C-alpha cells in the first residue's frame, strides 16, 4: 500500500509507531513523496512529549481554560472541539495540504508534526500579545472578551434561558441600552467604574422578560445577541435555516463555487469502508478475512 498512497496519518505517542516499523524514515524510504502526519499532545520531542493527555488537559495547560472561567468558579468543561478537532484535526489538515502543495514543485513528501498543545498556544497567541501591550491578563474573567465587560456576557432570562450579549461596538452598545430602556448608560460604555452597575441593570432588564421576548426586541434593533442553545437545539435551528438538509449532513465546510460534493447523510462509522479499501489495493478475499480474524483491521457492521 505504501508505494501508492499520498498521506499517512497516525496518532500514537512518540516512539510507538517506530516500534511497529511504520515510522516516517521507514515509509518515506519506500515512497519519497509520502506526506506523513503525526498528531500528538505535545509533539515529537521535548520534556512533555511522552506525557499523556486529553482535550481538557491540553486546554488547562494552554491557558485557554482559565480564560473561560470566572474568579472563584470551577472551570467549565467544554466540548472536545478545541484541542482535538481544531488545534489537532484542522491544523493537521492545513499542514498536510501545505505539504502536498509543496510536493508539486519539489516532488518530495514531508513529515508533519502536529501538537495539540502547541496548536492551542497558537490560537491563544493574540491574547498573549494583548497582555504584553496593555498588561491585561485575560485569565479568570479578567479581559474584555473573557467576562470582565458587562456588555460581552451571558444573562439569565425570566424563563431560565440564557441570552448571550456581545454589544462590543459603540453602535451596538447604544442600541442595546436604548432598547432595554437604559438610555442613561448609552454614553458610558468605557466607564469601567460603572461596569458593576451596568451588569446589575442588564441582568435585571433581561431577567424581567422571557428569553424569546428579549431576543425579539434586541434583534429588531439590530443588536448582537443570541440564545444559548443546547447542541440538539443548535442543529435543529441549523436545519430550520436551511444550512443543512438534516441534523447529520452539515458538510462540506467551507463551500466552494467552482465545484461541489454529493450530499452525505452522515459520517461513516470508523472501519465502514475497510474491506472496500483493501480490495481496491488488490488484496484477495482470503487475505482480507485473515486480516479481520487476526485483528489487523476491523470492519464496522453496516
Distance, CA of 108 to CA of 100 (rounded, Å)? 9
- The CA distance from 5 to 38, in Å, is 16
Distance CA 273, CA 52 (A): 30
Residue listed under C-alpha cell 493527555: 53
Cell numbers for 75, please give them: 472551570
Q: Cell numbers 501538537 label which residue?
A: 115
Query: What is the Cα–Cα distance from 223 to 216, expressed in whole angstroms?
Result: 10
The answer to whether residue 54 is catalytic is yes
- Collapsed DSSP state (helix, strand, coil) of residue 232: helix
Contact 135, 65 (CB under 8 A): no
- Burial status of residue 180 (CB atoms within 10 A of its CB: 0-12, 13-18, 19 or more): buried
Q: Which of 41, 36, 42 is nearest to 18 (CA)?
A: 36
How far is Cα 43 from Cα 23, in angstroms, rounded to an integer? 15
Catalytic residue among 6, 21, 54, 212: 54
Contact 48/117 with Cβ under 8 angstroms?
yes
Whole-number Å distance between alpha carbons of 244 and 242: 5
Give the torsion sign (CA, 148, 154, 158, 161). negative
Q: Which residue among 6, 21, 55, 84 is the active-site one?
A: 84
Where in the sequence numbering do the catalytic residues fall?
54, 84
Amino acid at each position: 500500500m505504501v508505494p501508492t498512497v499520498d498521506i499517512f496519518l497516525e496518532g500514537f505517542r512518540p516512539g510507538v509507531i517506530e516500534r511497529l516499523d511504520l515510522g516516517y524514515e521507514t515509509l518515506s524510504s519506500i515512497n519519497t513523496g509520502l506526506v506523513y502526519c503525526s498528531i500528538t499532545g505535545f509533539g515529537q520531542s521535548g520534556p512533555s512529549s511522552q506525557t499523556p493527555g486529553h482535550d481538557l488537559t491540553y486546554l488547562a495547560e494552554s491557558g485557554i481554560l482559565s480564560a473561560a472561567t470566572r474568579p472563584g468558579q470551577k472551570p467549565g468543561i467544554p466540548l472536545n472541539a478545541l484541542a482535538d478537532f481544531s488545534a489537532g484535526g484542522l491544523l493537521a489538515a492545513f499542514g498536510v495540504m501545505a505539504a502536498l502543495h509543496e510536493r508539486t514543485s519539489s516532488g518530495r513528501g514531508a513529515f508533519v508534526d502536529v501538537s495539540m498543545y502547541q496548536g492551542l498556544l497558537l490560537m491563544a497567541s493574540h491574547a498573549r500579545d494583548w497582555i504584553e501591550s496593555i498588561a491585561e491578563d485575560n485569565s479568570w474573567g479578567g479581559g474584555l472578551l473573557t467576562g470582565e465587560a458587562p456588555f460581552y456576557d451571558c444573562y439569565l432570562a425570566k424563563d431560565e434561558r440564557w441570552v448571550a450579549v456581545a454589544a462590543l461596538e459603540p453602535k451596538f452598545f447604544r442600541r442595546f441600552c436604548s432598547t432595554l430602556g437604559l438610555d442613561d448608560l448609552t454614553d458610558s460604555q468605557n466607564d469601567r467604574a460603572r461596569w458593576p452597575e451596568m451588569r446589575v441593570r442588564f441582568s435585571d432588564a433581561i431577567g424581567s422578560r422571557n428569553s424569546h421576548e428579549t431576543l425579539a426586541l434586541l434583534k429588531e434593533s439590530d443588536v448582537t445577541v443570541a440564545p444559548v442553545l443546547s447542541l440538539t437545539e443548535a442543529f435543529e435551528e441549523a436545519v430550520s435555516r436551511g444550512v443543512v438538509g438534516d441534523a447529520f449532513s452539515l458538510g462540506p465546510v467551507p463551500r466552494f463555487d467552482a465545484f461541489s460534493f454529493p450530499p452525505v447523510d452522515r459520517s461513516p462509522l470508523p472501519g465502514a469502508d475497510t474491506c472496500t479499501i483493501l480490495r481496491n489495493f488488490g488484496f484477495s478475499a482470503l487475505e482480507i478475512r485473515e486480516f479481520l480474524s487476526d485483528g489487523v483491521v476491523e470492519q464496522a457492521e453496516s
